[in-house]
Chain A
Amino acid sequence: MASTPEEPRFDGRGGKWIGASVRRREDPRLVTGRGRFVDDIHLHGMLHAGFVRATVAHGKITELDLSAAREVDGVVAAYSAEDLQLGDMVALLDRPPEEFTPTTMPILARGKVRFVGEPVALVIAKDPYAVEDGIEAAQVSYEVLDAVVSEETALAEDAPLVHEDAPSNVLLDVTSFDTPGVDEAFAEGCVIELVTRSGRQNALPLETRGAVASWDDRDEQLLVQTCSQVPHQVRTVLARSLRIPERSVRVVVPDMGGGFGQKCVVGREEIAVAAAAKLLRRPVKWIEDRSEALASGFLAREQRYRTRAAFTPDGQLTALESDIVCDMGAYSCYPFTVGIEPLMAAAEMPSVYRVPAYRVRARAITSNKAPTAPYRGVSRPQYVMVMERIMDLAARRLGLDPVEIRRRNVITEFPYTGINKVTYDPGSYLESLELGEKILRDEGWYELREKNPHLGIGFSCFSERTGYGSEAFAKRKMTVVPGFDVSEIRMDLTGSVVVTSGTINHGQSHETTFAQIVAERLGVDLAKVKLRQGDTERISYGWGTFASRSVTIGGSAVATAATRLGEQLCVIAAHLLDTRVENVGLDGDGGVIQLDDPNRRLSFEEIADVAYLRSHLLPKEAEPTLTATAAFDVPGDGTFSNATHAVVVEADPGTGQVKILRYACVEDCGVVINPKVVDGQARGGIAQGIAGALFEEVTYAENGEPSAASFIDYLVPTAAEIPDITVDHLETPCAFTESGAKGAGEGGTIGAPAAVLNAVNDLLWRTGVQLEQTPIHPEAVLAALAAADREKAGTGA
């Protein structure tokens, strides 16, 4: 029977695989201990590496003697910066000197150390135990300099200088927008002022960083297997630092135990270890241990915002002004630079609200603390916290309900071009807010709050740009502009496909979701699709995984490549079926059918047989083999996911401990490829946000000694602290991405600190104390509650 045009036909866009919570392709190996993480790699003759690290935060190296280390039983070699002579890492912005001061990061410290844990020398030994013996034997002396450990010490007039070539300890200072009307609005309106701070955090992938490097004389190539979110960036830095061509470096990423941004910058250690492997002509493995990861891994989030916002009496936000200082630590990370946090904050602070007038100054300061990298959410947890605190404080001042004031200010018409010159694509800001509120109302939490003075309710409503294309990143004025991604797809004789992506799966389930996209596009069974990532030899180029870009950009490249392969299959099939290409189509079941006679069908295997083994039968317009490639870049300002988090907390009046009783997330990441995966991203992100709100912080003593050297001091929350979380989905499809999906990786982390802080401040309101700092220490909560109780007792008596 001939198909009629009215009949729905497989179009490769929706239905069978997209939107299904299919079981993850990653799981069989991971649940049986058969994953291959970097520390699972063992090469013949492999040596082990470790680093002599700075024990002072700021000091001149007056002595560095590795001779005793080299004598230690089992030690094979020890190297200083002088021994290795590696090129420095330099991350730049294309900005004038008054805005940006470039600094360099040596691979091993030269002459001076700038933070506790900075790598000073490299010890290579036969096993990791001997490595530590060797490290202990190294002699290093320092002339200790005053340490810069706070905004105050960094910006003081006679401040010690972290970098001699940065005469103010300010590495970035950008004043943006400064639109007309700011001062007028503040002169007229109800003005909310607040200073917020967030503690320094460690992204804390459970797998620490690590690399195995080996030199292959046949390939004339250094093979570096490293847990990195950005293997092509590692390749570039390796080639530059070792002064060898890029073709002489192959970077491979094995299974990776989380990254969250900490692994999306190039580490000094992976370069040093590779250099040693090349020198020694032996494989060298380096696995960061937990105390190194805590003391000297890349950190994030230490920010201070001094903000003013003006409102009309009926609660319309009229102006926003903020002074932002981000403590970026000792060095500028490659490739993102110290601009990563302040520039993100300045560009996107208006968030989901209509802001008529805006002025922002954003600075990056350098200090004698471990350097920073982008961490899941990058500044958005912080500025969302500011905006959401402003909404709550304004609501209190103006006598409005917190949800109502948001309702009056939230963007509802799309596309919307904000005061920050960013165009927001359609989202469900208001809908998510209203659903979030409804959930708490329907469950009776508002009534419970009436009865329990230690109960608080808090919201956060926010959007998040996901999948920054090159245009969006170019606005940051980076000299290295991420954005596009590429994919190659190849079908074999069995009709199975291998598809590549420049993104890197490390928990995000790409092997499953990308396979779902391809299976949908080609109309093949999921089991026929295998994703390959993380190999600079297999993937011509890729920007890796960060900034919630994988499904938006990488997923679109994969989808486009699959579509092109489908077109090739159709061209060949039409020729073999002796009909026009317009008269054939993918049948959704591993074959191509003739549209006016569906009984005429060729399976992919039959087409592949011709493409490879009987190419003389191919049409002129088709080349042998079945391969397609595609590149994809998100145009313009990209796409925004959004969410509302609604939280109920209870404070223990005897300890100040905050317990989360209810956490509801209403999120919109466009078309959901795999609901279970999206829920997982939301919940895991929220857990990290709660960690920042209530538990985790790396503090420093005056001399720059970090407080958190073990998991005893760095309070990663457990299952006892993280509550069950409901996730509701709204779906506003993205017009720019192939699948209609928006990014889902970071939202959870972004919304949690604001919602939790608002909930705590809701219950504290009666005490007259409002906390504007994360993590919220129970001591501060208890102090506020106790002071209020004393006052009450006092007035009552």
Chain B
Amino acid sequence: MTDKQLIVLTVNGEEHELLVEPRWTLLDVLRHNVGLTGTHVGCEHGVCGACTILVDGEPVRACLMYAVQAEGCAIRTVEDLGTPEEPNDLQQAFSEHHGLQCGFCTPGFLMLAEGFLAQEPSPTREAIRETVSSNLCRCTGYQTIVDAIEATAAQRSAESGKKEDAVR
């Protein structure tokens, strides 16, 4: 074991002082030190995407970052999207389109999609499918995940269109 270091992580807008070993991944620290277990461990080598979170707005694998590297970054996890009582539009769309079965991969797909839609608000279905191919799901066959993201993008575009119209 190596010496621990004191770090400060900003997670979902809240600062956490944490004593960590340098080798602890951001994934493990989020789950076991910060206590946010919505980000899941799927492969720990960057392929499955179950641990996808947003770091400074971009979707990244939490298993491919050490917690010490994340100091000074804005970290966002699934817990920040919505609550069981008030899920956000993307979470609702996943439910409406049956985009999840066991739900283990779901937080990763949600954060992947949030990061992607922030960068590309009006993607084609093909572009969505290509992005969805970043992560693994063993239950759904992916189609309904693509459906959910497509519906969210359409709804968000329509709403932002309405807002623009209102401004005009």
B residues lining the A interface (CB < 8 Å): 1, 21, 23-24, 28, 31-32, 35-45, 47-48, 50, 77-79, 81-85, 87, 91-92, 94-96, 98, 100-107, 110, 129-130, 132-146
Contacts and interface: CB of A to CB of B under 8 A. Distances in A.
A763 B40 CA distance: 42
Contacts of A680: 98, 101, 139-140, 144
A26 B37 contact: no
Interface string A701-720: 00000000011100010111
B90 to A, nearest CB: 8
Interface in A592-615: none
A270 interface: no
Contact of B102 (A23, A73, A257): A257
A25 to B, nearest CB: 10
A34 B139 contact: no
B101 to A, nearest CB: 4
Contacts of B44: 289-290
Interface stretch (A199-207, A356-364, A576-584, A754-762): A199-207
14 contacts: A35-B38, A206-B104, A206-B105, A207-B104, A257-B103, A258-B101, A258-B139, A290-B42, A711-B47, A716-B136, A718-B133, A718-B136, A719-B142, A719-B145
A688 B138 contact: yes
Contacts of B134: 718
Contacts of B78: 31-33
Interface of A: 21, 23-24, 26-37, 39-40, 42, 73-74, 128-130, 133, 204-207, 255-258, 260, 287, 289-290, 506-509, 676-677, 679-680, 683-684, 686-688, 710-712, 716, 718-722, 724-725
B143 A32 contact: no
B101 A722 contact: no
A433 to B, nearest CB: 23
Contacts of A256: 102
Contact of A130 (B1, B48, B81, B83): B1
A509 B133 CA distance: 24
A546 B25 CA distance: 35
Main secondary structure of the interface of B (DSSP, over half): loop
Given A32-B79, A712-B47, 6 more contacts: A33-B36, A39-B31, A205-B102, A205-B104, A206-B105, A509-B101
A647 to B, nearest CB: 14
A26 B92 CA distance: 12
A720 B41 CA distance: 22
Nearest to A680: B98
B137 A24 contact: no
Contacts of A42: 32, 35
B102 A506 contact: yes
Given A42-B32, A684-B138, A258 B102 contact: yes
A42 B21 CA distance: 19
A711 B45 contact: yes
Contacts of A205: 102, 104, 138
B41 A39 contact: yes
Given A33-B37, A33-B77, A26 B139 contact: no
B110 A31 contact: yes
Contact of B138 (A21, A35, A260): A260
A212 to B, nearest CB: 13
B141 A725 contact: yes
Contact of A290 (B43, B144, B146): B43
Contacts of B135: 718
A466 to B, nearest CB: 18
B136 A687 contact: no
B103 A74 contact: no
B33 to A, nearest CB: 10
Contacts of B100: 27, 30-31
Contacts of A23: 95-96
Nearest to A686: B141
Nearest to B136: A716
A31 B37 CA distance: 12
B73 to A, nearest CB: 19
A710 B141 contact: no
A507 B139 contact: yes
A206 B50 contact: yes
Given A680-B101, A720-B133, A39 B37 contact: yes
A207 B102 contact: yes
Given A33-B77, A712-B47, A206 B137 contact: yes
A289 B27 CA distance: 14
A129 B102 contact: no
